[in-house]
Structure 1
Amino acid sequence: MPTHKPADHPAVSPFLLVADARAMLAFLAATFGARELFRKTREDGSIMHAEVRIDDSVLMIGERPERAAALCGSTHVYVPDVDACYAAGLAAGAASVSPPTDQPYGDRTAGLRDHEGNLWWIGTHLAG
């Protein structure tokens, strides 16, 4: 059993540095059903580090220093129902980048942009 990482963590996890970690955590819970695993706050109450689980993956989040430039990421997430996830994301405040569409490579995909500017590509692999 590997000891170089926590047993319930994958070897690679995206890490988002955001202006408002609480808002990001709420967006992830509403859109993807993310379950919070860990939260470490600073003395001022800001979130230094948080971790959430989405399906079999862990996403790490931290609040960037006030003067630090915004960093936007692009993440792909497979979900059971891309249409429902897309609708949940829009309801949680995301903007549409691409509506759900069947792709020639066998996935149904959609794109969202969250309040921080991050892109979320969501997909459901179609049977076949």
Structure 2
Amino acid sequence: MPTYKPAGHHAVSPYLLVADASLMLAFLQATFGARELYRKARGDGSIMHAEVRIDDSVVMLGERPDGRDPVRCSTHVYVPDVDACHAAGLAAGASSLSPPTDQPYGDRTAGLRDPQGHVWWIGTRTAD
């Protein structure tokens, strides 16, 4: 029986409107170990729509067809090892907004700005 959302998708998924979808896909794979699920290209080769899985969540993205500026966003991702993820993001071309730091609310967190200007807050739960 059909459901109201695709199998494997949560009710809410980030949708990134980016300048270069191939670059973003490479960044997500290198930083978060994202696995590409789907890609639909336009006739000119630009990416109309793509989906990747990061852990248990789907992130969707696409390039704006009209040449307008991309929509920059801020996204939070829980990861198994914030220090390793932060280092992977830096190696993939991101800049650090905040180094991995233990927080009083029980998370170890860090911040990255990817090569296209999107902000990624990453965290690992360290205490209840």
- Structure 2 length normalisation: TM-score? 0.96
Task: Give the structure 1 partner of residue 42 of structure 2.
Answer: 42
Residue 104 of structure 2 aligns to which amino acid in structure 1? P
Q: Kindly report structure 1 stretches of 4+ aligned residues shifted beyond 6 Å.
A: none
User: Does the alignment pair 1:33 with 2:33?
Assistant: yes
Task: Give the structure 2 partner of residue 70 of structure 1.
Answer: 70
**Contact persistence 2:33–2:54 (CA under 8 A):** yes
| Deviation larger for 1-10 or 11-20 | 1-10
Take 1:108 and 1:81, find their aligned partners in 2: how far apart are those partners? 9
**Contact persistence 2:111–2:120 (CA under 8 A):** yes
In structure 1, the gaps of 5 or more residues are none
Q: Could you give the per-residue CA deviations for residues 2-32 of structure 1, whole angstroms, max 9, x where no partner exists?
A: 6111111111100000010000000000000
CA-based RMSD: 1.2
Identity %: 77
Task: Give the structure 1 partner of residue 84 of structure 2.
Answer: 84
In structure 2, the gaps of 5 or more residues are none
Take 1:27 and 1:95, find their aligned partners in 2: how far apart are those partners? 12
**Contact persistence 1:19–1:66 (CA under 8 A):** no
Q: Could you give the per-residue CA deviations for residues 18-73 of structure 1, whole angstroms, max 9, x where no partner exists?
A: 01000000000000000000000001111000000000000001001353123110
Counting matched residue pairs gives: 128
- Structure 1 length normalisation: TM-score? 0.96
Task: Give the structure 2 partner of residue 57 of structure 1.
Answer: 57
